Amino acid sequence: MSRVEEVIAARKAAGSGALVGYLPAGFPDLQTSIEAAVALAENGVDVIEFGLPYSDPVMDGVVIQAATQKALSNGFRLKHGIEAVAAITSRVDVPVLVMTYWNPVVQFGVDRFADELLAAGGAGMITPDLVPDEARDWLAASDRTGLDRVFLAAPSSSAPRLHQAVEKSRGFVYAVSTMGITGARADVDTAARSLVGRLRTAGATSTCVGIGISTPEQVREVFEYADGAIVGSLLVKALADGGVDAVAKAAAHLATAK
């Protein structure tokens, strides 16, 4: 079992679920993004999803777009993202998964990226625009390094594709709650519940639901049927509006659902 799987399994064994918190690297600046990630870990977040800013983030809504665009215009570089992962993992025990669009990894070199991420204490990678069908290099690099690889599953995915996502993922399978992009929503789709059911049928033992989750009530609801809940835009907005203190409060509030 990978560390992420262990953490999720432990939360499940405790009769609850894992809280996964997303924040982008370099927003509002690199040091603050490190402090904010540490604050997540210290306020009940079980797994950190650390996003690497990218110029063309097609899966992201306006809140995350604005934050990552700011990071890029501040001069964010990929190497800073890896340095930040090292800084976070040296201070807290919570596993850190990097969320990144695919082209930056390709240009960095898939193997080099895997090696440096591993050396920085990173747990693995979530790849929103890389499906297993196109992931040959990453499958090899993650097998070699033992890094987790989190692929997405969507309400629109066919049964064979869900099977593939379960089979190829390690850490967890990212169940996309709704057909859409990141951003808070009033209701987390009923589609999520049925998707997780279909993933279970496909053999999934570690499934986290993401997209649109922003309240402890929604987190609790997700824990009824899934193994973890992923919260992003709400935390990014807290950081944008109120800094690290606000992130800490927001995380602690979400963690009341655990």
Partner 1 sequence: MPLRDEVGPYFGEYGGRFVPESLIAALDELDAAYQAARVDPVFQAELAQLHATYTGRPSIITEVPRFAEHAGGARIILKREDLNHTGSHKINNVLGQALVAKRLGKTRLIAETGAGQHGVATATAAALFGMECVVYMGEVDTERQALNVARMRLLGATVIPVISGSRTLKDAINEALRDWVANVDTTHYLLGTVAGPAPFPVMVRDFHKIIGDEAREQVLALTGKLPDAVTACVGGGSNAMGIFHAFLDDADVALYGYEAAGEGHLTKRHAATLTRGRPGVLHGTRSYLLQDEDGQTVESHSISAGLDYPGIGPEHAWLHDIGRATYLPITDDEAMQAMRLLSLTEGIIPAIESAHALAGTIKLGKELGPDAVILVNLSGRGDKDMETAGKYFDILDTEALEAEISEPAPDGARGDNA
Tokens (6 digits) for 67: 């934050």
The one catalytic residue in 5, 35, 46, 49 is 49
Partnered with residue 126 across adjacent β-strands are: 99, 150
Q: How far apart are CA 199 and CA 44, in angstroms?
A: 26
Per DSSP, the residues of 176-194 read: E-SSS-SS--SS--HHHHH
255 makes contact with partner 1 (CB under 8 A):
no
Alpha helices in the chain, H assignment, sequence order? 3-13, 30-42, 62-73, 78-91, 102-108, 110-119, 136-145, 159-168, 190-201, 216-225, 233-255
Q: Which is nearer to partner 1, 130 or 239 (CB)?
A: 130
The footprint of partner 1 on residues 135-164 (CB under 8 A) is: 151-158, 161
Q: Which of 65, 207, 214, 218 forms a contact with partner 1 (CB under 8 A)?
A: 65
The footprint of partner 1 on residues 188-247 (CB under 8 A) is: none
Cβ-contact 37, 48 below 8 angstroms? yes
Q: How far apart are CA 212 and CA 189, in angstroms?
A: 9
Please say if 60 is a catalytic residue: yes
Q: For the CA atoms of 241, 245, 248, 250, what is the dihedral angle to 10 degrees?
A: -40
Please say if 35 is a catalytic residue: no
CB of residue 55 vs partner 1: minimum separation in angstroms?
4
Q: How far apart are CA 40 and CA 163, in angstroms?
A: 32
CB of residue 135 vs partner 1: minimum separation in angstroms?
10
**Among 103-111, 138-146, 221-229, 232-240, which window interacts with partner 1 (CB under 8 A)?**
103-111
The footprint of partner 1 on residues 35-54 (CB under 8 A) is: 54
2 makes contact with partner 1 (CB under 8 A):
no
CB of residue 228 vs partner 1: minimum separation in angstroms?
18
CB of residue 176 vs partner 1: minimum separation in angstroms?
6
Residues known to be catalytic = 49, 60
Q: Tell me which residues touch partner 1 (CB under 8 A).
A: 54-59, 61-62, 65, 69, 72, 77-78, 102-108, 128-131, 133-134, 151-158, 161, 165, 176, 179-181
